[in-house]
């Protein structure tokens, strides 16, 4: 008899926000409409304030049809490197992806962007965008951990270990050898992944359990897609304490 060992990686992940969020394009369309259009015409730019609002509106419609796609650190850096000006960088950021902004900071963000555009500081624009990506990553990481714990309990597993800072959750099913180790991991490019390692299962029970966990996460509003699933080499079940052999040369 052997136990099934399996690992599953899940992304891209989105979690219901705890506070109202608006898109980066929304900030430009509502809060920044007057100020960005009024930026100094003497500043070296690659377009007009009207163009910024136009592209922002296009971005908002695009974002509504593709809410799962989010900006990454590499994408932001590329925009900063290729944009001809701060104004163009703002336009491209609005059109590139659905960057989310807490509604409570949208007015301050619009004011800051106005200053950066007026000073033609495209590096500053990129820094703001990176901060927004990092803030979203931190939000997802902190909100996912309790949702993972709740989902484990819902399918009959008892969390036995939790490290909120590291994003690690260990759980097992009482009366069985079945256990799961779940890593809520921050990716290098600003996203979040779930790595699910299962051990001690037999037959198809492993896949069924991981599917149930993913289903419970979705019931709690977590949008997540299966990226990879692979089976690890089986290993024999050991009953009792293992026998250690000392080799004498």
Q: Which runs of E-coded beta strand occur in 103-225?
A: 158-163, 168-172, 179-186, 192-201
3-state secondary structure 173-204: CCCCCCEEEEEEEECCCCCEEEEEEEEEECCC
Q: Residue 35 and residue 23: Cα distance in Å, rounded?
A: 18
State the fold for domain 2-15+140-236.
TATA-Binding Protein (3.30.310)
50-54, 161-165, 227-231: range with lowest mean pLDDT: 50-54
pLDDT higher than threshold 80 for residue 118: yes
Q: How many CA atoms lie within 13 A of 152 on its CB side?
A: 26
pLDDT band, very low/low/confident/very high, at 50 (cuts 50, 70, 90): very low
CB 44 within 8 A of CB 119: no
72-76, 83-87, 95-99: range with lowest mean pLDDT: 95-99
What is this structure's pTM?
0.73
| pLDDT, tens digit (0-9, with 9 covering 90-100), for 220-243 | 988 877 777 777 655 543 333 333
- Listed by start position, the domains of the chain span 2-15+140-236, 21-137
- Distance, CA of 73 to chain centre: 12
């Amino acid at each position: 008899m052997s136990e099934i060992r399996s690992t599953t990686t899940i992304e891209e992940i989105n979690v219901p926000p705890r506070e109202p969020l608006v898109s980066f394009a929304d900030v430009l369309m509502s809060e920044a409409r007057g100020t960005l259009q009024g930026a100094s015409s003497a500043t070296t730019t690659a377009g007009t304030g009207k163009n910024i609002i136009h592209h922002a509106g296009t971005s908002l419609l695009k974002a509504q049809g593709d809410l799962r796609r989010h900006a990454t650190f590499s994408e932001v850096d590329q925009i900063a490197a290729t944009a001809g000006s701060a104004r163009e960088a703002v336009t491209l950021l609005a059109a590139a992806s659905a960057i989310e902004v807490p509604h409570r900071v949208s007015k301050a963000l619009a004011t800051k962007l106005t200053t950066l555009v007026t000073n033609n500081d495209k590096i500053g624009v990129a820094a703001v965008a990176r901060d927004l990506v990092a803030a979203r990553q931190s939000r997802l990481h902190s909100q996912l951990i309790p949702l993972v714990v709740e989902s484990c309990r819902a399918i009959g597993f008892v969390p036995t270990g939790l490290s909120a800072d590291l994003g690690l959750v260990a759980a097992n099913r009482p009366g069985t050898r079945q256990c799961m180790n779940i890593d809520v991991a921050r990716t290098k490019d600003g996203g979040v992944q779930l790595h699910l390692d299962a051990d001690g299962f037999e037959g198809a029970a492993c896949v069924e359990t991981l599917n149930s966990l993913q289903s419970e996460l979705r019931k709690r509003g977590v949008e997540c897609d299966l990226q990879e699933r692979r089976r690890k080499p089986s290993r024999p079940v050991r009953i009792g304490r293992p026998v250690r052999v000392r080799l004498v040369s």
